[in-house]
Copies of this chain bind each other. A is one copy, B any other.
Amino acid sequence: MDAALRADLVARGMAPDCAETIELVRDVLARVGDKWTVLVVTTLASGPIRFTALHERIPGISQRMLSHTLHALRRDGLITRTAYAEVPPRVEYALTPLGRSLAAAVDHLVRWTQTHQADIARNRQDYDDDK
């Protein structure tokens, strides 16, 4: 993906595995930071849930984005998808142990945000006032 940056970093004397880590970290943070992932993961944290139920529990998300987000999470092994051969069809999504582990790590950052949200809001206010 960003092989060019990695090559640059390595060329400048950075250890290759460190450079690769930067790529991966950015990748994981980008996933976690995207518009819907956190909401989907926190909703899944309550237990297995079906596509439509998930859709209803997350107001504002489109089917397309829910589908995309679930695909991305599944690709990384953070959630599982279980389809039951029934009529009408039933599909359940659930966090994997890895997914729960990430959710816990994210929770750390979520709590940081809650703790400091007033600071950030005030900083923005001050900054915008100055301009």
By a beta-carbon cutoff of 8 Å, the part of chain A in contact with chain B is 2, 4-5, 8-9, 11-12, 21-22, 24-26, 28-35, 38-39, 59-60, 74-77, 98, 101-102, 105-106, 108-110, 112-114, 116-117, 119-124, 126-128
Contact = CB atoms under 8 A, between A and B. Distances in A.
- How many copies the complex holds: the figure is 2
Contacts of A113: 21, 24-25, 28-29
A127 B74 contact: yes
Contacts of A102: 112, 116
A34 B2 CA distance: 14
Given A24-B117, A28-B120, A32-B33, A8 B60 contact: yes
B75 A9 contact: no
Query: Closest 4 A-B residue pairs measured CB to CB?
Result: A33-B33, A77-B123, A8-B59, A29-B33
22 contacts: A2-B60, A5-B60, A21-B113, A21-B114, A21-B117, A25-B109, A26-B39, A28-B109, A28-B120, A29-B32, A29-B109, A30-B33, A32-B33, A32-B109, A33-B33, A33-B34, A75-B124, A76-B120, A76-B124, A77-B124, A108-B108, A108-B109
Contact of A4 (B33, B60, B98, B126): B60
